[in-house]
Amino acid sequence: MSETPGIVVMGASGRMGQMLVREVNAHPKMRLAGAVERPGHGWIGKDLGSAMGGQPTGLFVTDDPLEAMAGAQGVIDFTTPQVTIDLSVIAAQARAVHVIGTTGMTDEDIAKLDAAARHAVIVRAGNMSLGVNLLTQLTKQVAAALDEDFDIEVVEAHHRHKVDAPSGTALMLGEAAAEGRGLDFKEAYEAARDGITGARAPGKIGFSAIRGGDIVGEHDVIFAGAGERIVLRHLASDRALFARGALKAVLWGQDKRPGHYSMLDVLGL
């Protein structure tokens, strides 16, 4: 592993992209090797520092991930499912660690990462924070301890710009609850309710999504029984915590064998 791995930030102008650029630049054990945006984006060809409203840095934004990856050891990618799938091929060719924060990926999308994971390290998680990953473990434990008399509901809230629902985090928490209770997640999954739905069926895990304003990310796992409720909650108030998790993952992956890993692997949970 090189002393200071070169890291490329994909989607550099995005909410997470800009946060990642700042965190990589501030990190003593890595250097920013490239910044990529979509073709036609106003930042292409511009100095990244200037585009972000600061001092010029001499690093220019490109729309060519292959060019950006030359000499890089990792890429951090919080973009869209198709961009992530396409990038996995390029990252694997470069044998660079591909950290994926992108959510909204279907099972078919995720299966398309398999080929790349045979040649390079992929770390993917719907939430990169320590708190949420710990919460998945607690959720599994509580779901295992309580019986079917406790209905499980996952409620999440995010900013108005979020395009996917339920959030990647809500799905992680739902999967953990299903695992704890010994349910098949796909069968247990119950999407947001509307209209005359009938009474709640047992053995289901319900999902509800709120979208509004600048909410960074809030998640409740509710275990509702007769006369009592247990609520496990995570509140994110700063995107930096997702970025710091991603930086931890890209460093962790530097000496690992090719494969598809999660943040639980990175955090040792």
Ligand X SMILES: NC(=O)C1=CN([C@@H]2O[C@H](COP(=O)(O)OP(=O)(O)OC[C@H]3O[C@@H](n4cnc5c(N)ncnc54)[C@H](O)[C@@H]3O)[C@@H](O)[C@H]2O)C=CC1
Q: Provide the β-strand partners of residue 62.
A: 36
> Pick from 48, 78, 172, 261: which binds ligand X (CB under 6 A)?
78
For the segment 197-226, give every residue that binds ligand LZUJQKHR (CB under 6 A): 217
Under the binding rule (CB under 6 A), the answer on residue 14 touching ligand X is: yes
CA distance 41 to 28: 30
The residue type of 221 is V
By beta-carbon proximity to ligand LZUJQKHR, the closer residue of 158 and 181 is 158
Q: Would the annotation count 168 as a binding residue?
A: yes
Helices 130-145 and 240-252: angle between axes, nearest 10 degrees: 90
Q: From edge to edge, which strands make up the β-sheet containing 205-211?
A: 189-190, 205-211, 151-158, 217-224, 229-236
The secondary structure of residue 191, as a DSSP letter, is: P
Please confirm, yes or no, whether 29 is among the known catalytic residues. no
Under the binding rule (CB under 6 A), the answer on residue 136 touching ligand X is: no
Cβ neighbour number for residue 184 with a 10 Å cutoff: 9
Choosing among ligand LZUJQKHR, ligand X, none, which partner's interface includes residue 223 (Cβ < 5 to 8 Å by kind)?
Answer: none
* DSSP characters over 197-219: --SPPTT-EEEEEEE-TT--EEE
CA distance 49 to 64: 18
By beta-carbon proximity to ligand X, the closer residue of 73 and 167 is 167
Q: Would the annotation count 227 as a binding residue?
A: no
Under the binding rule (CB under 6 A), the answer on residue 158 touching ligand LZUJQKHR is: yes
| Residue range at the interface with ligand X (CB under 6 A); choices 74-82, 88-96, 190-198, 200-208 | 74-82
Please confirm, yes or no, whether 248 is among the known catalytic residues. no
Q: Provide the β-strand partners of residue 224.
A: 151, 229
Count CA atoms closer than 13 A to 198's CA, side-chain side: 3
Under the binding rule (CB under 6 A), the answer on residue 127 touching ligand X is: yes
Rg, C-alpha atoms of the chain: 20
Q: Would the annotation count 156 as a binding residue?
A: no
For the segment 242-261, give every residue that binds ligand X (CB under 6 A): 242
| Residue range at the interface with ligand LZUJQKHR (CB under 6 A); choices 45-53, 66-74, 84-92, 164-172 | 164-172
| Residues 36 and 45 sit within 8 Å (Cβ to Cβ) | no
By beta-carbon proximity to ligand X, the closer residue of 38 and 119 is 38
Name the nearest CA neighbour of 242 among 20, 6, 10: 20
Choosing among ligand X, ligand LZUJQKHR, none, which partner's interface includes residue 136 (Cβ < 5 to 8 Å by kind)?
Answer: none
The catalytic position among 112, 140, 162, 234 is: 162
Q: Provide the β-strand partners of residue 206.
A: 153, 190
The catalytic position among 27, 98, 112, 158 is: 158
For the segment 15-74, give every residue that binds ligand LZUJQKHR (CB under 6 A): none
Under the binding rule (CB under 6 A), the answer on residue 79 touching ligand LZUJQKHR is: no
Q: Which residues line the annotated binding site for NADP(+)?
A: 38
